[in-house]
Amino acid sequence: MRLADIARASRDIGAASARTEKVALLAELFRAADPADAPVVIMYMSGRLPQRRIGVGWNTLRERREPSPEPRLGVREVDALLTRIAAVSGKGAQGERKRLLDELLGAATEEEQLFLLRLISGELRQGALDAVAVEGLASAAGAPVADVRQAVMLSGSPAAVAEVLLSRGPSALAEFRLTVGRPVLPMLAHTAKGIDEALARTGPCALEEKLDGIRIQVHRDGDDVRVFTRTLADITDRTPEVVALVRALPVRRVVLDGELLAFDERGRPRPFQETSGRTGSTLDVAGAQTAVPLSPVFFEVLHVDGEDLLDTPAAERRALLDRLVPEAQRVRRLVVADPTDPKERAAAAAFAAEALERGQEGVVVKSLDAGYSAGRRGTSWLKVKPVHTLDLVVLGAEWGHGRRTGTLSNLHLGARAADGTFAMLGKTFKGLTDALLTWQTERLRKLTVAEETWGVTVRPELVVEIAFDGVQRSTRYPAGVTLRFARVVRYREDKLPSDADTVESVTALLP
């Protein structure tokens, strides 16, 4: 398949407003694709590179290259060249990556260049994310959407499913099942506004502490133990304590789902970035293990000695987990058999409050009779956690890319410092609707004091309410702190910059 076909489809899908129209366009594209091209095509239409990252920054991407007058690139040719770019390392790597990228973009037409730049930079916002791409694939092959979705979740790879499905038909989907040693996409939770709402929606349930750690999935087959992250990355070599613990369990084959945390001497979770830093480093693992020991805390078992448990009710899965895993390595929980009972509701509220006092993020409310929906955000799991918000001042904004080209998108956020100035805490482009983007671009243009190639610096006059999941230390910003998962809630034109939150109030939120 030619890259031009994919670029054209991407443009048409981005212009389509209805989900059904997007699915139809994707189905047409997949029907035209050679099965050997399908793994790359579905990744591109999901907005991702098979290589994940290729080591090329925006400064390199934004350089203009003279486009090819005619389309001549094939999708596998493009994938091979991107693989070569990603593999470049050592002295002179930056220059060699740029040379290869110039070679690629120089062979691309103007439309293909735009598609590639958006894809590589992560700005391919065409509305064809994984779920829609899977629906298009199912339609192209005449397969039930639920079956294709299940295959993708169990394989952890839409690319693998696409090639098998388009080459061999719907019957081949039966080959994709839970396999010990091959990670599956984890089940995720929807959000509830509070405990009462969550109890009303789930019925008989269990409340579990929502842990602020690294999601892990551990597979054991005999003495072989593998540890995977939420994104299915293998971190076995970096987590020897997890391997040792799971190898000691009274079972030969098992798949466990849980979180990995570092605890302080009081038994409270250490800052998330310490856990993240530990699992992200491959240097001196033994020394890191001594400095930041990690503890797995499990809340699900998906397979035990030849028996798959995905369709087994949650209450039965938990009973199995209780028999296999020591209490210290199991998440704390409270069963609410009758959510209409005032005493049980009060106990649930007290459990949630205690979880926060123990340093956890909140709770997850899980239906007792639900199965495990791998890779899906199931309504039988509802997370409840307090929403933190701050009133911050906009200090600048960066020009958007892709669909946001021409708008001021990525906001620079600041809190009031003790000397009356504003200290930058971080950036965000999350939570912005198209209407809000248009409004803030016009508003920030009026406040601009300096224009840069990346965007604008503005007078610190506009207050914005920002939601976030937590605060962590950072050497990147002058106040030494930054926000985790910041997103825009609304602009507060009713507030003055002097009403904004202070750096002191933000640092007080550090764990």
3-state class (DSSP) for residue 481: strand
Task: Report how far apart, in Å, the C-alpha atoms of 24 and of each of 1, 134, 152 are.
Answer: 18, 12, 20
Residues in the chain: 511
**Residues 6 or more apart in contact with residue 267 via CB below 8 angstroms:** 358
The H-assigned helical ranges of 53-92 are 58-61, 75-87
210 is catalytic: yes
Q: Residue 15 in contact with residue 24, Cβ under 8 Å?
A: no
Task: Report how far apart, in Å, the C-alpha atoms of 208 and of each of 198, 293, 297, 384 are.
Answer: 12, 23, 11, 10
Question: Alpha-carbon distance 158 to 44, whole Å?
Answer: 11
Q: Residue 112 in contact with residue 7, Cβ under 8 Å?
A: yes
**Residues 6 or more apart in contact with residue 473 via CB below 8 angstroms:** 271, 273, 480, 481, 482, 510
Q: Residue 44 in contact with residue 119, Cβ under 8 Å?
A: yes
Tell the residue number behind the tokens 């033994």, with chain if given: 286
> 377 - beta bridge partners?
188
Question: Alpha-carbon distance 220 to 227, whole Å?
Answer: 9
**Residue 469, Cβ density class (10 Å: 0-12 exposed, 13-18 middle, ≥19 buried):** middle
> 2 - beta bridge partners?
74
DSSP state of 179: B
Catalytic residue among 22, 91, 210, 385: 210
Amino acid identity of 284?
D
**Which are the catalytic amino acids?**
210
